Homo-oligomer: A and B are copies of this chain.
Amino acid sequence: MTTPRSIVASLLQEGESRSAGKVAARVLFISMVLISIAAIVFETAEEFAKSQGALLRTIEYLTVALFVVEYLLRLWVTPDLAPDGLRYPAKARAGYLLSIYGVIDLIAILPFVIGIVLPIDADWLRVLRLLRVLKLARYVPALGLFAEVVRNERRPLLAALMVMLVLLLINSAIMYAIEREVQPKTFSSIPNVMWWCIVTMASVGYGDMTPLSTQGKVFGGFVMLLGIAMFAIPAGILATGFAAEIRKRDFVVTWQMVSKLPLFTHLDASRIAEIANLLKRRLVPAQYAIVRRGETADSMYFILDGEVEVDVQPTPLRLGRGQYFGELALLNDTVRNATVTAVSDCQLLTLDAADFRRLLNAHPELKNKISQVAQERRQP
């Protein structure tokens, strides 16, 4: 069913595959965003804007036009991307419009329209136009980890912020009381001194306001030490948060790995979660002999990453990502009939013999599949 729409859909969809068309589409979108951002930024450089005004305007018109086309295309092909999209295209489209990416795509084109319709200040309009940089978020998957950690730790982070603001307030009032007489013009009011205080606590230290009196300097030193501690607190919170989040994701990662193993792709989500719980991750260094000819078989292995060599006759067999081994001896209840050695550092998932038998009994179709591959392996 390669309708024009499904082709466009496959070009626009995010994912791991790297077909030439998709890479081209991605390069086009990223470069258009970057060029467009650069154009907006250099608009403000007066001389450059004067000499190259026409170019900058052209870039703006072109990129906005492209973003409009992209927006409409995405709206058009959404049903092909959503799971139930083809049955409820209107619902799928509404979903895109309201999704975070849909809103970002809209934000990329809206300021252009606003600029024409409303008499908004050019500088602030420019800020809005620059928000199109958010379109890049689509291409940075690790951002999710971030967002999650910040979301999990938002309460201690907010508490840290509040402590900081309270200290800012009290410290500024104290510094004002200390330093006002010596520098009545610079340290002229608490709001003014707050500028000194935040500049100092954040350890920025412009030097536009510095205490001159001895007491002011002593208290200033104390404020700096407080600032260091304030720095350290979000660092501590976030370090803990990242560690916790990464631990939590490990289960999800195993789940996703299992769901990508060809043997299990036909299973539904809850069955995959069940298998993910049975499998254990294991790292083996290169050169490590994972199973050895003649040993009693106690588990089978799935390769998540790396490559192994099975020393069968006449030529050794190489297995890589997504493949499995060690099932023959389990199927026939015999000892290992070949040594398997890691060629590179390998990440494996192991399945115990007992769980293996239970699984095959529960899923006859799995048993058939495995037996069939085993047959092929025995008579290559």
Contact B202 A233 (CB under 8 A): no
Q: CA A301 – CA B191 in complex, angstroms?
A: 55
A235 contact from B194, B203, B238, Cβ within 8 A: B238
**Chain B residues with CB under 8 A of A206:** 205-207, 210
A170 contact from B130, B142, B173, B225, Cβ within 8 A: B130
Binds B, one of A241-249, A313-321, A323-331, A352-360: A241-249
CB-contacts of A274-294 with B (<8 A): 274, 283-285, 287-289
Contact B195 A221 (CB under 8 A): yes
Residues 251-272 of chain A, each 1 if its beta carbon lies under 8 Å from chain B, else 0: 1100100000000000011110
**Chain B residues with CB under 8 A of A134:** 166
CB distance from A75 to the nearest CB of B (A): 25
Residues 174-210 of chain A, each 1 if its beta carbon lies under 8 Å from chain B, else 0: 1011001000000011111011001110111111101
- A131 interface residue, CB < 8 Å from B? yes
CB distance from A149 to the nearest CB of B (A): 8
**Chain B residues with CB under 8 A of A228:** 202, 230-231, 234
Q: CA A341 – CA B230 in complex, angstroms?
A: 40
A198 contact from B124, B192, B224, B246, Cβ within 8 A: B224
Known: A133-B169, A202-B228. A158 touches B177 (CB 8 A): no
- A163 interface residue, CB < 8 Å from B? yes
- A376 interface residue, CB < 8 Å from B? no
A191 contact from B42, B136, B159, B341, Cβ within 8 A: B42
Contact A155 B142 (CB under 8 A): yes
- A335 interface residue, CB < 8 Å from B? no
Instruction: Classify chain A's interface size.
Output: 35 or more
Contact A189 B44 (CB under 8 A): yes
- A239 interface residue, CB < 8 Å from B? yes
Contact A283 B251 (CB under 8 A): yes
Number of copies: 4
- A45 interface residue, CB < 8 Å from B? yes
CB distance from A257 to the nearest CB of B (A): 14
- A37 interface residue, CB < 8 Å from B? yes
Contact A127 B174 (CB under 8 A): yes
Residues 153-171 of chain A, each 1 if its beta carbon lies under 8 Å from chain B, else 0: 0011111111110100110
Taking Cβ atoms with an 8 Å cutoff, the residues of A that contact B are 37, 40-46, 121, 123-124, 126-127, 130-131, 133-134, 136, 140-143, 145-146, 149, 155-164, 166, 169-170, 173-174, 176-177, 180, 188-192, 194-195, 198-200, 202-208, 210, 214, 217, 220-221, 224-225, 227-244, 246, 248, 251-252, 255, 268-271, 273-274, 283-285, 287-289, 341
6 extra interchain contacts, Cβ-Cβ under 8 A, other than A44-B176, A232-B237? A37-B169, A141-B155, A204-B205, A204-B227, A228-B230, A235-B239
Report the 10 A-B pairs with minimum CB-CB distance, sorted nearest first.
A236-B238, A204-B205, A123-B177, A270-B289, A202-B224, A142-B159, A206-B207, A239-B239, A236-B239, A232-B235
A-B contact pairs, 25 of them (CB 8 A): A37-B169, A41-B169, A45-B190, A46-B188, A123-B173, A123-B176, A133-B166, A134-B166, A142-B156, A146-B163, A149-B236, A194-B221, A195-B217, A203-B203, A207-B208, A228-B230, A235-B239, A255-B285, A268-B287, A269-B285, A270-B287, A270-B341, A271-B289, A273-B284, A274-B289
